[in-house]
Amino acid sequence: MSQETKYTEDNIRSLDWKEHIRMRPGMYIGKLGDGASPDDGIYILLKEVLDNSIDEFVMGAGKTIEITTKDGKVTVRDYGRGIPLGKVIDVVSKMNTGGKYDSKAFKKSVGLNGVGTKAVNALSSYFRVESNRENERKAVDFSQGNITKDYPIENVVSRKGTKVVFIPDTAIFKNYKYRSEYVVKMLKNYVYLNLGLTIIYNGEKYFSENGLKDLLEDNNSKEDMLYPIIHLKGEDIEVAITHSKTQYSEEYHSFVNGQHTTQGGTHQAAFRESIVKTIRDFYGKTYEASDIRKSIISAVAIKVMEPIFESQTKTKLGSIEMGGELSTVRTYINDFIKTQLDNYLHKNNDVSEALQRKILQAERERKELSGIRKLAKDRAKKSSLHNKKLRDCRVHLGDIKKERRLESTLFITEGDSASGSITKSRDVNTQAVFSLRGKPLNSYGMSKKIVYENEEFNLLQAALNIEESISDLRYNNIVIATDADVDGMHIRLLLITFFLQFFPELIKEGHLYILETPLFRVRNKKETIYCYSEEERVKAMNKLKGKPEITRFKGLGEISPDEFQFFIGEDIRLDPVMLDPETSIENLLQFYMGKNTPDRQKFIINNLKVELDIIEEE
C-alpha cells in the first residue's frame, strides 16, 4: 500500500501578490515566449503600461506618448496628469488599486482589474515609475516587485505626466528580443482608435487621421480592394469594410475600448451576423452567409461600460451589456449596421453593384466546389486524422488549461525521419505535427478548387480548421520545419505560397513561422554547444578550445529525438514570416512564383554576383 501523503498546516502557503504573479505569469500575461510571436509576454508587458497612458489621453490629458525599446529596456513617457504623488507606490505594487475603479473617471477604459502595471513590476528585473505633477516629482525603483529605492519628492521643472522604465526579467523571459514590426503594429492600432493621439516610437512618429479606414489601407494594397472602403462611425462604434479581389477567406480586426481582441468575441460575432442580415435585406435575396462574407476585409471597434473579457490579456470579449442601457452589444451593433450600411449602399450604387457581383461570383464558385468539397471532406475524415498525417496535441481535448491554447503549435514537416524526431521530442500537450509527403504543389494562380483536389492541401486545411475563416484556427502558431538546404528552402517557399494564395490573413496576423534549427554541434567531454550560424560555430570553438568535435547537420532527420527537444522546447527559435503591407500579394507571388520573367532573371543574376563578390573577398 502506498504511503499516505501528509496534509498539515505546513502544506498551506499564502503567496503575496508578486510571488503569485511570478509563479503563475501565464494567468496575467498569457504565454511567455521570446518575442518571436506578437502575443508573447514581453509585448503584453508593454501594452499594460501603455494602456494607462492611453486612458489618460481618452480623459483629455496628454496628446503625445513617447516609447523606446533598446537593449531589452522599455521606456514609456506620457504627458497626462501624472499619478497622485502619495499613491505612486500603491498604484504599481498593491493589487486592486487604481483610478479605474472610479467609473466616472474611467467610464470606458481598457480594463478595470487593477492588475496590469503590477504584473509588469513583478515580472521585471528593473522597474522604475516616475510621476510629475505641479513641478514636483516622485520616483520609485523596484526589482521583481520589491522596492529597491524610494526617492523623496523633489521640486523640478518638468512637464506633468508619468514615466515608466522596465527591463523584463530574463529568468522568466529567456533570450527575449523586441521586434519593432510587432511593436509598430500595436502602436498603429492605438492611433487608429484614438484620433488626435501621437505616439513616437524610437524616433518615428505615428498618427492617424481616418481611424479604421487607415487600418485597412495600411494593411492592404489598394489594387487588391474590390471597392473603396466603407467607413461608418457612431458615438460608441466605428466600422470599416471592403472586399478583396484575390483573398478567399474572411478577415476581421476587432477592438473593445481600444483593446485589440485578437480572438474576437461577442462584438465580432454580432458584426458578422449584422453584415449578412443587412445585405440580404438590401438586395432582397437570401444569399448564403458564406457568399456574402467571402473575401471580406473589415474592422470594428466599440466602446462599452466595464467590459468583461475572457482572460487577463483581454483578447476575447464575453457577453456583456452596453453600459446602463437595456440593449446588448449584439443588438447595438445590429441596429447600427442595419441603419448605416443600408444607407451607404443606397447612396453608393457603384459599391452596391460591385458587392453584388462579388456575392454572385462567390455563389457560383461555391456551387462548383460543392461536389468536390464533399468528396474532399469525406476523404479527410477517412484518412487525415487516422493515417498519421496529423499527430495532434492534448490542448484540443479540453483537459489543458485555457491559457495554454496560446502556446498551441503545429509543426509542418517533410519526411518520416524529421517528423518522427519532432513527434518523439515534442510537448504532447501543446505541440502537434503534420507530415508532408514530398514537395507541395506550386499553387500560385490556382483557384480554391486545388485545395480540395490536392490531398496534401486538403488535409492541411482540415488540420488547421480554416476552410471558412481563421477565427476557428486550431493552432496559434504554424511552424514550417524543413531542412536548411535547397530542397528545404523550396518546400518553405511552396508552403508560404499556399498560405499567401489562399489564407494570407494567417501571415498578416502573425501565425506563420520558420523553425530555426542548428547547423553545427560543437562539443568536448564537458560541454555541448549548438550553433545556428558560422559565426556561432567560431565562437563555440574558441570557447571550448582544444580540438572539439564538430558535427555539421545536413538535415532535420540527422538530429536525434533526444537532441530535438532542446530546439522545440523553451529555447525554440522561430523566425516569423512577415508581409510588407505596402507590397501587393499578387505582385509578390507573380515575381517569385510565376513564370520566369526578365525581371526575376535579372534579380537572380545580380544577387548571385553579390554572393560571388563576398566569397572572393573572404
Return the domain boundaries, the chain.
17-206, 212-366, 384-517+555-583, 520-552
Query: How many whole angstroms separate alpha carbon 105 and alpha carbon 91?
Result: 16
CATH 3.30.565.10 fits 17-206, yes or no: yes
Give 531's contacts (C-beta < 8 A, 6+ positions apart).
Answer: 518, 519, 520, 521, 522, 537, 539, 540
Check the CA dihedral 406-412-418-420 and report its sign. positive
Q: Could you say which residues of the chain have pLDDT below 70?
A: 1-17, 95-115, 306-327, 377-388, 397-404, 581-584, 586, 591, 596-618
Closest-CA residue to 21 (of 149, 142, 129): 142
Helix axes 598-617 and 585-593, enclosed angle (nearest 10): 70
DSSP strand pairing (136-143 vs 154-155) = antiparallel
Query: How many whole angstroms separate alpha carbon 460 and alpha carbon 434?
Result: 8
φ/ψ of residue 279, rounded to 5 = -70, -40
Q: What is the DSSP letter of 609?
A: H
Rg (CA), the chain: 26
Query: How many whole angstroms separate alpha carbon 385 and alpha carbon 387?
Result: 6
Closest-CA residue to 182 (of 115, 262, 102): 262
CATH 3.40.50.300 fits 212-366, yes or no: no
Query: How many whole angstroms separate alpha carbon 124 and alpha carbon 120?
Result: 6
Residue 130, classed as helix, strand or coil, is strand
Residue 104 CB neighbour total at 10 angstroms: 5
Our CA angle for 76, 111, 312, nearest 5°, is 95
The pLDDT value given to residue 195 = 92
Cell 530555426 locates to: 516
The pLDDT value given to residue 323 = 44
Q: In the numeric block, which cell numbers belong to residue 328?
A: 446588448
Q: What is the DSSP letter of 4?
A: P
Q: What is the DSSP letter of 443?
A: -
The pLDDT value given to residue 557 = 74
Q: What is the DSSP letter of 473?
A: -
The pLDDT value given to residue 611 = 42
Q: In the numeric block, which cell numbers belong to residue 594?
A: 510565376
The pLDDT value given to residue 142 = 93
The pLDDT value given to residue 9 = 46
Query: How many whole angstroms separate alpha carbon 462 and alpha carbon 377?
Result: 8
Number of Cα atoms under 13 Å in the Cβ half of residue 603: 7
Query: How many whole angstroms separate alpha carbon 364 and alpha carbon 361?
Result: 5
Query: How many whole angstroms separate alpha carbon 536 and alpha carbon 69?
Result: 25
In order, the DSSP letters of 531-546 are ESSHHHHHHHHHHH-S
Cell 494594397 locates to: 221
Cell 572539439 locates to: 548
Residue type for 387, please? N
Check the CA dihedral 537-538-544-546 and report its sign. positive
CATH number of 384-517+555-583: 3.40.50.670
Query: How many whole angstroms separate alpha carbon 464 and alpha carbon 389?
Result: 13
Q: In the numeric block, which cell numbers belong to residue 23?
A: 509563479
Closest-CA residue to 508 (of 543, 534, 554, 473): 473
In order, the DSSP letters of 557-591 are GGS-HHHHHHHSSTT-EEEE----TTS-HHHHHHH
Q: What is the DSSP letter of 246?
A: S
